[in-house]
Amino acid sequence: MKTFVILSDSHGKRSAIDKISHLFAENDYIVHLGDGAGDMREVSKAYPDKTYVLKGNCDFSAALDECVIEAEGISVLCCHGHRYGVKTCLDRLAYRAKELGCSVALYGHTHTARIDEVDGVLLVNPGAIGAYADPSYCYLVVHRKKPTATIVPL
């Protein structure tokens, strides 16, 4: 079993990240999906081998454009989502995930938490952890090649 803490769109609100920092040590992966990449500097230093920080459309610091994480026999695409038009449709993101052999795609950008399935791909947006209405993050468990995502209100 592998576990992920997934957050996105902190937009400088490090105090929100601090509220869930107790979860970082006990999980296998920590993923920030962009727009606040700089907010993860301390987390990246503390957990360099399991922290993935993606670059959002509002980020100017060094971060990944996208990456694929292999966990428990499945591949997970991580990106901010703005390059795939996620505010209007999830089809392009699902297509990209399938192109890379991923059965799960994690994305941010919309500030709205949601879990969908498109063309056999599980699409997960943890919502915005920053100063927005209904801040949230996601807890993802992958067990025996089965991903289960849960949106957690902050």
**Residue (of 68, 70, 69, 18) closest to 41 by Cα position:** 18
pLDDT score of 133: 74
Domain total in the chain: 1
For a pLDDT cut of 70, what percent of the chain falls above it?
Answer: 99
Residue span of the structural domain in which 107 resides: 2-153
Q: Please name every residue paired with 67 in a beta bridge, in sequence order, or none if there are none.
A: 78
pLDDT score of 148: 98
pLDDT tens by residue, 14-46: 999 999 999 999 999 999 999 999 999 999 999
CA angle 120, 63, 37 (to 5 degrees): 90
For 146, residues 6+ apart whose C-beta sits below 8 A from its C-beta are none
- Say yes or no to pLDDT of 10 above 90: yes
- Rounded distance between C-alpha atoms, residue 22 and residue 101, angstroms: 32
Give the DSSP letter of residue 95: H
- Say yes or no to pLDDT of 147 above 80: yes
Rounded mean pLDDT, 68-78? 97
By the 10 Å C-beta count (0-12 exposed, 13-18 middle, 19+ buried), 84 is classed as buried
Tokens 């995930």 map to which residue?
97
The domain that holds 83 is classified in CATH as 3.60.21.10
Q: Which own/partner pairs from 23-30 qualify as long-range (CB within 8 Å, at least 24 positions apart)?
A: 27/3, 28/2, 28/3, 28/4, 28/71, 29/2, 29/3, 29/4, 29/5, 29/69, 29/71, 30/4, 30/5
Mean pLDDT for the chain overall: 96
Rounded mean pLDDT, 75-95? 97
pLDDT score of 132: 73
- Rounded distance between C-alpha atoms, residue 117 and residue 11, angstroms: 27
Rounded mean pLDDT, 55-66? 94
**Residue (of 12, 8, 64, 20) closest to 39 by Cα position:** 12
Rounded mean pLDDT, 113-118? 98
pLDDT tens by residue, 125-134: 999 998 777 8
- pLDDT category at 95 given cuts 50, 70, 90 is very high
